Amino acid sequence: MLVNKNKFSFTRLTFYSTYGLWLLLFVIAPLMLLLWQSLVGSDGHLTLQNYQTFFVSGTYLTMAFNSVWYAFIITAVTLLISYPAAYIINSLKYKQFWLLLIILPTWINLLLKTYAFIGILAKTGPINQLAESLGLGTHQLLFSDWSFIIVAAYIEIPFMILPIFNSLTDIDPVLEQASRDLGANRWQTLKNVIWPLSLPGVKSGIQAVFIPSLSLFMVTRLIGGNRVITLGTAIEQHFLVTQNWQFGSTIGVVLIIAMVITMLLTREK
């Protein structure tokens, strides 16, 4: 063991230093820059002014609440669809193939998928044509809360299914058989055996979906028609339009804190 360790010490060193350098350059340094920017006032001095502006402004607090609320709904909808989907895929014969089909859309650019939905949900799109031919009339589907949530959930589903599927495959099938042998029905088995064992996957799924959903912004404009305003919209505005990078960074830091809280709440015990 000792010999082994020495033999690999050089590789270990290169590995750790590369990894450390990467972390420093691309994770820690940007975060520090963001924090630094958020602490600088318009006059260039260190101040908590930006945070004060954020926390006394009704607009930004409402927006923060909106972001959390929509992210919560998106995560709930995604989970509701993904858990049964992962469960069914896991029980299929060619499960890796079916999983691949679910993962496939992530290979396509997010913006392209969103534009595709504009076509689908438009007044002249296939859904409305179908409704029309069934005599249900044309409806306004775009620019509503629901269309926004559906598209956001569609985008996030693979990131929820994948961890849940992985934790489901890890469960020894013998456990399920044992549960059934001991008299539990399908539902009881699912509730008392499978669900608790797959919880780690559900938790990482929630992290993978809730966190990016907090700062979605292109979808809010393209599908939500800016009827849904989240902190992502405000960050975009402050970096690109008003060029108040300090305040944009402040919102960024607030979002990061919200994400850290999410991580803590869903972490492995």
Footprint on this chain of another protein (rule: CB under 8 A): 8, 11, 15, 42, 59, 62-63, 118, 122-124, 140, 142-143, 221-222, 224-227, 229, 233-234, 237, 240-244
DSSP 8-state secondary structure symbol assigned to residue 193: I
Using the minimum distance from each CB to another protein, give the nearer residue, 51 or 87: 51
Tokens linked to 116: 């595709």
Query: What is the closest distance, in whole angstroms, from the C-beta atom of residue 111 to another protein in the complex?
Result: 11
Query: What is the closest distance, in whole angstroms, from the C-beta atom of residue 184 to another protein in the complex?
Result: 43
10 Å CB burial of residue 245 (0-12, 13-18, 19+) is: middle
Handedness of CA 222, 223, 228, 230 (dihedral sign): negative
Using the minimum distance from each CB to another protein, give the nearer residue, 56 or 174: 56
Q: Which of 119, 141, 145, 117 is nearest to 220 (CA)?
A: 145
Q: Which of 182, 176, 194, 238 is nearest to 34 (CA)?
A: 238
- Cβ neighbours of residue 266 closer than 8 Å, sequence gap 6 or more: 203, 204, 206, 207
Task: Report the greatest alpha carbon distance in the chain.
Answer: 78
Q: Would you tell me how many other CB atoms lie within 10 Å of the CB of residue 214? A: 22
Tokens linked to 225: 């028609």
Query: What is the closest distance, in whole angstroms, from the C-beta atom of residue 242 to another protein in the complex?
Result: 5
DSSP 8-state secondary structure symbol assigned to residue 43: T
Query: What is the closest distance, in whole angstroms, from the C-beta atom of residue 248 to another protein in the complex?
Result: 11
DSSP 8-state secondary structure symbol assigned to residue 143: S
Query: What is the closest distance, in whole angstroms, from the C-beta atom of residue 79 to another protein in the complex?
Result: 27
Cα–Cα distance measured from residue 106 to residue 43, given in angstroms and rounded to the nearest whole number: 44
Using the minimum distance from each CB to another protein, give the nearer residue, 89 or 222: 222
Using the minimum distance from each CB to another protein, give the nearer residue, 78 or 233: 233
Residue 239: CA atoms inside 13 Å, Cβ hemisphere, count?
14
Using the minimum distance from each CB to another protein, give the nearer residue, 18 or 91: 18
Query: What is the closest distance, in whole angstroms, from the C-beta atom of residue 243 to another protein in the complex?
Result: 6
Using the minimum distance from each CB to another protein, give the nearer residue, 198 or 246: 246
Query: What is the closest distance, in whole angstroms, from the C-beta atom of residue 83 to another protein in the complex?
Result: 32
Using the minimum distance from each CB to another protein, give the nearer residue, 60 or 159: 60
